[in-house]
Structure 1
Amino acid sequence: MTMQLRGYKSLWEWNGSWEGKLAGVAEAGYVGVEYTPPADPKDDPTFRKDLDDMNLSFIAQVVTRGPDHSRSFREQVLRAAELRPVLINSHSAADRMTADEQLRFFEAALRVEQEIGIPIAHETHRGRAFFTPWHTAAVLKQLPALAIGADFSHWCAACESMPSPDDEDVRLSISRAIHIHGRVGYPEGPQVSDPRAPEFAAHVETFIDLWLRICQHRFDAGADIMTFTPEFGPPPYLQVQPYTRQPVADLWDVNLWMFQTFKSRYDLLFSDSQLLSSL
């Protein structure tokens, strides 16, 4: 049995614009793109056709909004499903909601997921229900069918520390992740300025270890695909020079480097078509 790593290019770098970008995405080795559906629903057919023409697939993002997060989720998911995504990654609920409100939201979300037949990953994200490892674990323990999109870089900012697999709540999230956002955080923020810089080598290693642990769990569960989106984002996520506001790094280069670096480490774990249990 093998499990293929499939890299997706986030359109966040271009604020969702895909026109004129897809050929370069495919040439760089990505198999698809990830972002919210086009801002204007009238553009949905063109967007899907352009993806098909380039033989690219789609991971859709949805971003729930109040006051009724469940209604917002359902409306966005049903629209996204029409674009035939392989997966939907959701910024779900809100951190200010009570535990009971969050539980009802995710129970409803599971019913929507069953209805559309497309996997949904609920992202670990600041401002959302899953903004810390322990809030995430509290929900996951109650809903065994719920899956997450692992963007543990947000926990660096929320917790002012690096996520550790020694933490039982982090381990639970690792075991329930079905999609990875490949961004490296540091104890004071969600995105290092340039992961290629030697001063961030330990941070990069911490995150690669977490991502590989997710891959191991997915392999052990019988998955044949692991999706990974390098997601270093534009300013203000990306640091800029004071006064000139010039970005300190090139996002295309940074994200491609992150994908290629992780892929090389991922490929090292394959031997005789098996993922080694070395973690």
Structure 2
Amino acid sequence: MQRQKHDKTAMSQQLYIFAPHWGSAHLSREAFIDRVKEAGFDGIEMSLPMDVEEREAWCRAIEDAGLLLIAQQWETVFHADFETHKQALAEYLLNACAAQPLLINTHTGKDFYSFAQNSELLDLCDRISLETGVPIVHEIHRSRFSGHPMLLLPYLQQRPALALNADLSHWCCACESLLEDQSQMLSQVFPHVQHIHARVGHSQGPQVNDFRAPEHAHALAQHLAWWDRIVALRRAAGAKQITMTPEFGPTPYTPTLPYTNQVVSDAWELNVAMMHLLRARYAE
């Protein structure tokens, strides 16, 4: 189908905040899109169905609602064998590119693949992006090629144009800290960031139970300082838009009480609250 083209000039230096579909898969398409619109998000970030008709139905509904789309690819996490992983990565990315999203956020590679293997996957992503015209960013995420700062830096040294999605909560968990001693490393990473997952992590996990709670004030302040630097770099580079997705997730990301498995906070409500914080802080 002919996808509506967004006016890039109208997007200049705009802030766009996306709602994660993660955690809302139990809702119908119509109910989820209504929820996103009512909350005030600018778009949706989601993994698109591989079934063509279902994918097109989602794309039409998102476009008809006046929302933007960021496509995700995370499903290759289930493919450990390298050749199977590579084939699946190509299939998922091409399916996402067919929707002509604003960009694709991909979970690329494995932390146990060799540098050469992960580089082969990055080359594949570059080719698909070039052929389709759809920007692809690689998410900083545990167990992927970017799962730890020292894993990622060699790729950045070899690939000055490597585009990242900063979900720094994963590195807090992987490094068991708020990265207080890694400012030089972050200075090398931040210029590569083209998208942000705005979730607040801590030294023992990728998600605090409620970022507004006073006991998490230090963690929130640290994440905001990182996002401030990234946004400033994006604006200084003349970025067409600043994109962010609050991404507090369902269980087991959201902690639960023992025995009852009752969640201690509402991930959707946290994402809406983070959207308002981001808009107040970064909208021009």
**TM-score normalised to the size of structure 1?**
0.91
Q: In structure 2, what is the Cα distance between the partners aligned to 1:203 and 1:24?
A: 29
Instruction: State whether structure 2 residue 98 is matched by structure 1 residue 88.
Output: no
Partner in structure 1 of residue 192 of structure 2: 176
Aligned residues: 268
Aligned counterpart for 2:69 among listed residues 58, 83, 88: 58
Q: How many angstroms does 1:24 deviate by? A: 2.2
| 1:66–1:72 CA contact under 8 A, matched in 2 | no
SS of aligned partner of 1:60: strand
Instruction: State whether structure 2 residue 161 is matched by structure 1 residue 145.
Output: yes
Q: Where in structure 2 are there 5+ consecutive unaligned residues?
A: 1-10
Instruction: State whether structure 2 residue 143 is matched by structure 1 residue 100.
Output: no
Q: In structure 1, what is the Cα distance between the partners aligned to 2:80 and 2:243?
A: 29
SS of aligned partner of 1:223: coil
| 1:184–1:204 CA contact under 8 A, matched in 2 | yes
Q: In structure 2, what is the Cα distance between the partners aligned to 1:94 and 1:232?
A: 23
Instruction: State whether structure 2 residue 220 is matched by structure 1 residue 208.
Output: no
Q: Where in structure 1 are there 5+ consecutive unaligned residues?
A: 271-279
1:217-269 Cα deviation digits (max 9, x unpaired): 111111120100000000000001111111101122111111111221224xx
The code of the aligned residue for 2:35 comes to G
| 1:9–1:34 CA contact under 8 A, matched in 2 | yes
| 1:164–1:170 CA contact under 8 A, matched in 2 | no
Partner in structure 2 of residue 240 of structure 1: 256
1:185-240 Cα deviation digits (max 9, x unpaired): 00000000111111001101110111111111111111120100000000000001
Distance of aligned partners of 1:159 and 1:55 in 2 relative to their CA distance in 1, 3 Å threshold: same
Q: In structure 2, what is the Cα distance between the partners aligned to 1:16 and 1:87?
A: 25
Q: How many angstroms does 1:128 deviate by? A: 0.3
Q: In structure 2, what is the Cα distance between the partners aligned to 1:165 and 1:33?
A: 35
Q: How many angstroms does 1:166 deviate by? A: 5.0
The code of the aligned residue for 1:24 comes to R
Q: In structure 2, what is the Cα distance between the partners aligned to 1:35 and 1:20?
A: 15
Q: How many angstroms does 1:164 deviate by? A: 4.3
The code of the aligned residue for 1:47 comes to W
Instruction: State whether structure 2 residue 9 is matched by structure 1 residue 9.
Output: no
| 2:73–2:106 CA contact under 8 A, matched in 1 | yes
SS of aligned partner of 1:242: coil
Identity value in percent: 37
Q: In structure 1, what is the Cα distance between the partners aligned to 2:225 and 2:152?
A: 20
Partner in structure 2 of residue 273 of structure 1: none
SS of aligned partner of 1:185: coil
Instruction: State whether structure 2 residue 247 is matched by structure 1 residue 231.
Output: yes
Q: How many angstroms does 1:107 deviate by? A: 2.1
Partner in structure 1 of residue 93 of structure 2: 77
Aligned counterpart for 2:57 among listed residues 46, 52, 56: 46
Q: In structure 2, what is the Cα distance between the partners aligned to 1:41 and 1:252?
A: 28
1:78-106 Cα deviation digits (max 9, x unpaired): 11111121010000000000112212221
| 2:248–2:268 CA contact under 8 A, matched in 1 | no
The code of the aligned residue for 1:186 comes to H
**RMSD between superposed Cα atoms in Å:** 1.7
Q: In structure 2, what is the Cα distance between the partners aligned to 1:206 and 1:186?
A: 10
